[in-house]
Structure 1
Amino acid sequence: MEFSRRRLGQKGIEGTSVIPPPRGGPRDHGRGYPLSVPSPAVAGFGDQCWRAKWSPNQGDGEKREKKSGRWPSPGPSPDAKQDGIEHRMELNVLSSPAFGTAAEVLTQIIECIIEIGITSKNVFIEKECFVKLANYLEKIIPLLKELKTKRISNSDGLNKFLDILNREVKVARQLTEDCGKRNKVYLLMNCRSISKRLEDTTREISQALSLIPLVTLDISSGIIGEISQLRELMQTAEFKAALAEEEILEKIESGIQEGNVDRSYANNLLHSIAQAVGVSTEQSALKKVFEEFKSEIENAHLRKNHAEAKQMDQIIALLERADAASLPHEKELKYLTKRNSLATQPLEPLQSFICPITNEVMVDPVETSSGHTFERSAIEQWFAAGNNLCPFTETHLDPLILWPNRTLRKSIEEWMDRNTMITIASMKPKLLSGEEEEVLHCMGQLQDLCEQRDIHREWVTLENYIPILIGLLRDRSRDIRKHALVLLCILAKDSDDAKERITRVDNAIESIVRFLGSRIAEGKLAVALLLELSKRSEDVKLVMATTLAEMELTDHNKSSLLEDGVLGSLLHLVSHSDTKMKIAAVKALQNLSSLPKNGMQMIREGAVHPLLNLLSHHTLPALWEEVAATLMHLAISTTSQDLDETQVSLLESDEDIFKLFTLITLRGRTVQQSILRAFHAMCQSPSATTIKARLKQCSAVQLLLPLCELDDLNVRANAVKLLCCLTEDVESNILEHMGQKSIDTLLRIIGTSSDIEEIASAMGIISNLPKCPQITEWLLGAGGLPVLFRFLPVSNHNGSHQNQLIENAVGAISHFSYPTNQQSQKKAAEIGLIPVLIQLLESSTRLTRRQAALSLAQFSASSAILSRPVPKRHGLWCFSPPPETRCIVHRGICTVESSFCLMEARAVEPLVRVLGESDLEVCEAALDALLTLIEGEKLQSGSKMLAEANAIPLMIKLLGAPSPGLQEKVLTSLERIFRLAEMKHTYGASSQMPLVDLTQMGNGSTRSLAARILAQLNVLPAQSSYF
């Protein structure tokens, strides 16, 4: 059936209307007829009502019809002539017995308008247009109600107005009812005509409103103004089909025009139609919609509406190519019937199929002005080369005249289809031959054919190649296996029938799933195929998820699986109502999330909330464990983020943080362990500050302390690690929750655990506790000093956690070095702590060196008090014991164990070396220790010692450090040192430049201190403005 280019559902400019005008019927106002032509009985008034004209005379009415582009009036019906009613007759509504009184007519119109307003909300198509018309009509009701109160005499204008309004309102009502009952797809196909009909009705009513003699009828001025505005609005109102509907109609027109669209085009078109009319896109629903549409068209045939029927037949022919249009067995029967009617060998092309220029079969044949046909591209190249004569007859050609030869093109396509069908059927024996080379050649041919056209893929499927290809997935040849997988992917793409056939073959899914652990190329193909199959079958998703959960995958496989789109299917199953599906999906996510890159992607794509909901609300313990383990993997993945990428947090809201943490007390030990590990990982992620703050708000410390006492070593270890993170930057009120029992528990863990990380964390908690006498007493009471000290010698430890272990041990044992408790200092010194601290100044980690220097500074702060005075000698000196060596700094008797003297411990040189480091915090700690040597009366002796150790030049160098606090500390010490003339003379010159810089660029405090020192050095006057 040839299709002429026309606009669907609209008459006039581009072709015949889908809804044609009445032929000799009663109503004849030039526009397309309603979807079901209302009979006089349905319309509610006689034939003469349909024929009545509002125009002043017959001639003018005819002109109006032609000018407006409407269908010409077919003249009076036979029934009208039989009744003796002339077509030019104007019906007097106000006095006709057929209508009763004017009040009754007005009442009928008002009721009809109200009914339109109600039914317009239930139409299937163009609802906005119907509601728009209903709103216009409702604004006429006040006028009609006022007319009911008036004494109305015969008036031509009013009579014509009521005649037109009565007619148009009832037509609109019928159209509204039809659009709420008829097949939705049929209505969509007519959406242009429907919107045009509504626009015409609106315009006619607008013109009719101008006929009312409002002034002579004594209508209120308010209503007159409203009607005047309404008439202008209605006259210019436009009713158009929705954009989505227009796009669908354009696709239909294009598809019919092309004539050779594939199944994919038809599938997409049918899906678009279903979405536009609000129908499910499930296969069964699409099938039902299509069958109902066909039934509607059959009714159109019965009505002998030929113009509409022709177009609808073309639409059906287009949509029949969709999968949902016919059942698979119907397609298969149709295919086999046609294929069995063909020969066994391909047919040679007819001579008329061959282009005289290329001697090849034509694809796009066009006819020239000479009457001969050529391939379009070939004849265009012929003309482009300057040839104007026909290659066949050598007659002159007009290069502008090239007519598509559609009949020949269709014949060529049919010939090619027949040969392709024969070729596909003939390949089976070769594919089953077992000869690798022949099988691969045959598979290559099949792939070429499948990639050419959608219909070829359908024929390969209907030829039952799928079981053969699945069998080849187990072939010994890797190339054959891969090629079979490629072909199955091609066949399954956008074909529900192919998907169904694949899943019906025994062990097919298992055979495909095995490729997930293969090389990346095969794995990608397998994922693509499984995802395609899972669109059709939930069982495929289950098998895929179960296999992914159990399979040992390389990191490359895991990464590839997520890149290829498996995550969407797994997240879908997580929300599935079937518990078996949920468990399989979560286990698969757990397996894949162990790769940090995958964990980050899962978080970005919304995996967290479904998992968190399962953990909160589901009642299956086995599922809790898998979900918690997956969340733990996701949390760990957030610790590996690059600084230059957008930071991702596992838990975005406070509610989610509180929800997950409270589950620690509500779930089993395995779940507890996973949740604790998850929070421990989050406390080391970019969102650590927020997580720690929120956990402290929900009393996490109180909740974790009892877990540190558990016999379950895994839960205990993870609770200790998390508690260590939360006690960093600890607040003083932590002592409200911790006591002697907590210290005993931590020391017991340190003394008995075999988990080095747990030991380091337990010591970290002690290290983080406030340095106060109470904590020191608790530690001493529990015998904590020897427990902690045994972890300090560097040679005692090795492994990945050595640094953390020593750092935390030094921090924990620093509780014993504070000068407020000299008893604890002595016990620490007696156990040999000071030499170990000096040894740790050479440690590899900055935290260890800093903490060791600070502890040495604390010990040294007590040295002046504990240094024993040199005893006076009595009697004969020759009989006296040799005098004890006097400390050159403290001027008394010093030892490492009794007075913690840095000189006796030989700590000065190591501290000076630390002072020269680039890490300012470590430098400052070393400086604090060295400055204890010049406190009070020790200024001269201590300064001399610092000079001998070359510490003063390093101190001067620190004046340029970007740390105001450190600068101020150095300035204060230099001001005291330069009180000594010898020191000022030796180091004054080298300090002048950095001091001058500070007077210009330092803050208020450092500028003033620098100026005072410069004054000491006689560089600035004593009354300088810098002071």
Structure 2
Amino acid sequence: MISSWRKRRAGKRAGKEQARNENGEMELTIPRDFRCPISLDLMKDPVTLSSGITYDRPNIEKWIEAGNFTCPLTNRVLRSLEPIPNHIIRKKIQDWCVENRSHGIERIPTPRVPVSSMEVSEILSKIDIACKKQDGAGCRDLVAKVKSLAKESERNKRCIVNNGIGNVLSEAFAAFSMAAFDENVSVLEEILSALVIMFPLDGEAKGFLGSASAMHCLIWFLSSGDLSRRRNAVLALKELVSSMEDQRKILNQLSEMEGATEALLKLIKNPICSTSTKASLTIIYHMIISYGNEKQVGNKLVNLGIVPLLLEMLVDAERGMCEKALGVLDGIFNTEQGREMACNNALTMPVLVKKILRVSNMATKFSVSILWKLCKNEKKEDGGVLIEALQVGAFQKLLLLLQLGCVEKTKDRVSDLLKMLNPYRSKLECVDPIDHFKGLKRPF
């Protein structure tokens, strides 16, 4: 009896201090009070709820954000959803980490106190006052502070966004863009860099950012030599054109602004990063398909050399870039000038046929659409474009696509293409297209 009691006592003492792993080596055990009741891991930012239970901040915030209003451990309804930092437990955890550093335990850093809604409201109010006073330096410092807080944690960013930062920054950008531009470049640049972090914007914020003065400022940044300015400007423009509200108005402004199209094309020709290149392609795509005079926009882009540029990009582009580049070409090839430029480029047919069934359903749809437009508008009596398509294995690829299945519109165009290509099959022996089918996956 005494022996059994001693064993239980020894087992409890060992559980409090150390435990042995499978190899028989001594292993450190985290004290129970230092573990989060949700994750059972060592707490790094302990906070206490109104129920008196302490949790690690990230875990309990996820619980509350999921719509729960009770304490996970006691199931009691919480009187307040604002967790209070538990400095006593945090200090004990830090001391324990220091005492056990020989076991490889690193001391947890003292967490920053997250920003509150009241603090955010005060900063936004000060930004609004600085904006009305045209205090560029003061506004720039306040915006920099907001940006710094947002970068500290995802929680801070959500709090800042939920308090309407998008509207305040957009209104400030529009206000300072109307004043002396040379004097306000630094504050405008700071506001724009902060805005990009806070996307997506609501309709009111886009209204401020889409004003004539703000748009001119964005185009100036897009054309300037500073890489970060150009990146932020193109992301802001993409945010504007992706909304259906006043989309036509924004696209009209873009198409008519001097240097805007050239600046967008420059981001494709001399890319800063894949994000900015994709944003530029998205804007150009909307300009082509949504603007009233699409032929004028398309011909302008053709004259600027977009067709060979995109064809070269498509050779080894990743999926997202490939889809966007093909979408732009599909819009441009509605113009006779664009189709003529494509027919005179040796890359056109090999690249388009290769992308069918190789990238995605969207890329296949665009590739078939482009092939259909080029072949349908063939003017040469010898069927130059059609024969070139046959030589790179288009007939076999299209037959396979028909068997695998596709959307109705694409299916109709595939059938048309096969009818157009069939009369020329007897004039040449097609190249063995086996390379096109390597690694082929069904689209469903």
TM-score, normalised with respect to structure 2: 0.55
Which residue of structure 2 aligns with residue 606 of structure 1?
213
Which residue of structure 2 aligns with residue 668 of structure 1?
272
Say which SS state the counterpart of residue 357 (structure 2) adopts.
helix
Is 1:816 the counterpart of 2:418? The answer is yes
Q: CA deviation at 1:727?
A: 0.8
Instruction: From 361, 374, 387, give the equivalent of 1:756.
Output: 361
Cα separation, 2, equivalents of 1:698 and 1:776 = 27
Judged with a 3 Å threshold, the aligned counterparts in structure 2 of structure 1 residues 547 and 586 are, in CA distance, closer, same or farther, namely farther
Cα separation, 1, equivalents of 2:148 and 2:356 = 42
Judged with a 3 Å threshold, the aligned counterparts in structure 2 of structure 1 residues 719 and 778 are, in CA distance, closer, same or farther, namely same
Cα separation, 2, equivalents of 1:510 and 1:530 = 20
Judged with a 3 Å threshold, the aligned counterparts in structure 2 of structure 1 residues 589 and 697 are, in CA distance, closer, same or farther, namely same
| AA in 2 matched with 1:590 | V
Which residue of structure 1 aligns with residue 125 of structure 2?
528
Which residue of structure 2 aligns with residue 784 of structure 1?
394
| AA in 2 matched with 1:602 | L
Judged with a 3 Å threshold, the aligned counterparts in structure 2 of structure 1 residues 709 and 594 are, in CA distance, closer, same or farther, namely same
Q: Alpha-carbon deviations, 1:607-654, whole Å to 9, x = none?
A: 2222222232233x34433332222222323x55489x9985334235
Cα separation, 1, equivalents of 2:251 and 2:230 = 28
Cα separation, 2, equivalents of 1:548 and 1:605 = 29
Judged with a 3 Å threshold, the aligned counterparts in structure 2 of structure 1 residues 553 and 722 are, in CA distance, closer, same or farther, namely farther
Which structure has the larger Rg over C-alpha atoms?
1
Is 1:655 the counterpart of 2:259? The answer is yes
Q: CA deviation at 1:679?
A: 0.8
Cα separation, 1, equivalents of 2:291 and 2:257 = 15
Instruction: From 505, 522, 541, give the equivalent of 2:143.
Output: 541
Q: Alpha-carbon deviations, 1:558-605, whole Å to 9, x = none?
A: 8x5455x43232457786889986664223332455346343541225
Which residue of structure 2 aligns with residue 723 of structure 1?
329
Which residue of structure 2 aligns with residue 615 of structure 1?
222
Q: Alpha-carbon deviations, 1:659-697, whole Å to 9, x = none?
A: 332342133342322211221122232446243242133
Is 1:679 the counterpart of 2:284? The answer is yes
Judged with a 3 Å threshold, the aligned counterparts in structure 2 of structure 1 residues 748 and 624 are, in CA distance, closer, same or farther, namely same
Cα separation, 1, equivalents of 2:143 and 2:123 = 13
Cα separation, 2, equivalents of 1:655 and 1:622 = 18
Judged with a 3 Å threshold, the aligned counterparts in structure 2 of structure 1 residues 596 and 530 are, in CA distance, closer, same or farther, namely closer
Contact 1:682–1:691 (CA under 8 A) maintained in structure 2: yes
Judged with a 3 Å threshold, the aligned counterparts in structure 2 of structure 1 residues 656 and 579 are, in CA distance, closer, same or farther, namely closer
Contact 1:767–1:808 (CA under 8 A) maintained in structure 2: no
Q: CA deviation at 1:726?
A: 0.7
Q: How does 1:574-585 map onto structure 2 within 5 Å? A: 584-585=190-191
Which residue of structure 1 aligns with residue 237 of structure 2?
631
Q: Which has the higher contact order (CA 8 A, sep 6+)?
A: 2
Which residue of structure 2 aligns with residue 568 of structure 1?
171
Which residue of structure 1 aligns with residue 297 of structure 2?
691
Q: CA deviation at 1:819?
A: 8.8
Contact 2:271–2:277 (CA under 8 A) maintained in structure 1: yes
Which residue of structure 1 aligns with residue 374 of structure 2?
769
Judged with a 3 Å threshold, the aligned counterparts in structure 2 of structure 1 residues 813 and 594 are, in CA distance, closer, same or farther, namely farther
Which residue of structure 2 aligns with residue 737 of structure 1?
344
Q: How does 1:545-556 map onto structure 2 within 5 Å? A: 545-547=147-149, 552-553=157-158
Cα separation, 2, equivalents of 1:642 and 1:577 = 30
Judged with a 3 Å threshold, the aligned counterparts in structure 2 of structure 1 residues 531 and 654 are, in CA distance, closer, same or farther, namely closer
Which residue of structure 1 aligns with residue 310 of structure 2?
704
Q: Alpha-carbon deviations, 1:706-734, whole Å to 9, x = none?
A: 12223454433322221111112444523
Cα separation, 2, equivalents of 1:599 and 1:704 = 30
Q: CA deviation at 1:759?
A: 2.3
Cα separation, 2, equivalents of 1:662 and 1:718 = 16
Judged with a 3 Å threshold, the aligned counterparts in structure 2 of structure 1 residues 658 and 641 are, in CA distance, closer, same or farther, namely same
Contact 2:237–2:283 (CA under 8 A) maintained in structure 1: yes
| AA in 2 matched with 1:606 | S
Cα separation, 2, equivalents of 1:790 and 1:665 = 35
Q: How does 1:770-919 map onto structure 2 within 5 Å? A: 770-771=375-376, 772=378, 773-792=383-402, 796=405, 803=407, 806-818=408-420, 821=423, 823=425
Judged with a 3 Å threshold, the aligned counterparts in structure 2 of structure 1 residues 581 and 641 are, in CA distance, closer, same or farther, namely closer
Which residue of structure 1 aligns with residue 44 of structure 2?
none
Say which SS state the counterpart of residue 752 (structure 1) adopts.
coil
Is 1:588 the counterpart of 2:194? The answer is yes
Q: CA deviation at 1:743?
A: 0.9
Cα separation, 2, equivalents of 1:662 and 1:642 = 23
Contact 1:721–1:761 (CA under 8 A) maintained in structure 2: yes
Q: CA deviation at 1:553?
A: 5.0
| AA in 1 matched with 2:300 | R
Cα separation, 1, equivalents of 2:223 and 2:236 = 14
Which residue of structure 2 aligns with residue 270 of structure 1?
none
Contact 1:767–1:809 (CA under 8 A) maintained in structure 2: no
Q: Alpha-carbon deviations, 1:54-78, whole Å to 9, x = none?
A: xxxxxxxxxxxxxxxxxxxxxxxxx
Judged with a 3 Å threshold, the aligned counterparts in structure 2 of structure 1 residues 585 and 789 are, in CA distance, closer, same or farther, namely farther
Cα separation, 2, equivalents of 1:679 and 1:698 = 13
Q: Alpha-carbon deviations, 1:737-758, whole Å to 9, x = none?
A: 333x3211111122321x3322
Judged with a 3 Å threshold, the aligned counterparts in structure 2 of structure 1 residues 688 and 760 are, in CA distance, closer, same or farther, namely farther
Cα separation, 2, equivalents of 1:605 and 1:579 = 17
Cα separation, 1, equivalents of 2:278 and 2:202 = 19
Judged with a 3 Å threshold, the aligned counterparts in structure 2 of structure 1 residues 600 and 782 are, in CA distance, closer, same or farther, namely farther
Q: CA deviation at 1:530?
A: 3.9
Judged with a 3 Å threshold, the aligned counterparts in structure 2 of structure 1 residues 527 and 662 are, in CA distance, closer, same or farther, namely same
Contact 2:171–2:209 (CA under 8 A) maintained in structure 1: no
| AA in 2 matched with 1:705 | L
Cα separation, 1, equivalents of 2:221 and 2:384 = 45
Judged with a 3 Å threshold, the aligned counterparts in structure 2 of structure 1 residues 714 and 580 are, in CA distance, closer, same or farther, namely farther
Contact 1:728–1:768 (CA under 8 A) maintained in structure 2: yes
Judged with a 3 Å threshold, the aligned counterparts in structure 2 of structure 1 residues 781 and 713 are, in CA distance, closer, same or farther, namely same
Contact 2:166–2:201 (CA under 8 A) maintained in structure 1: no
Contact 1:730–1:769 (CA under 8 A) maintained in structure 2: no
Q: How does 1:213-232 map onto structure 2 within 5 Å? A: none
Q: Alpha-carbon deviations, 1:536-576, whole Å to 9, x = none?
A: 62422322355568765599948x5455x432324577868
Contact 1:604–1:648 (CA under 8 A) maintained in structure 2: no
Contact 1:792–1:809 (CA under 8 A) maintained in structure 2: yes
Cα separation, 1, equivalents of 2:424 and 2:148 = 65
| AA in 1 matched with 2:391 | G
Contact 2:357–2:401 (CA under 8 A) maintained in structure 1: no
Cα separation, 1, equivalents of 2:190 and 2:159 = 19
Say which SS state the counterpart of residue 586 (structure 1) adopts.
helix
Which residue of structure 2 aligns with residue 265 of structure 1?
none
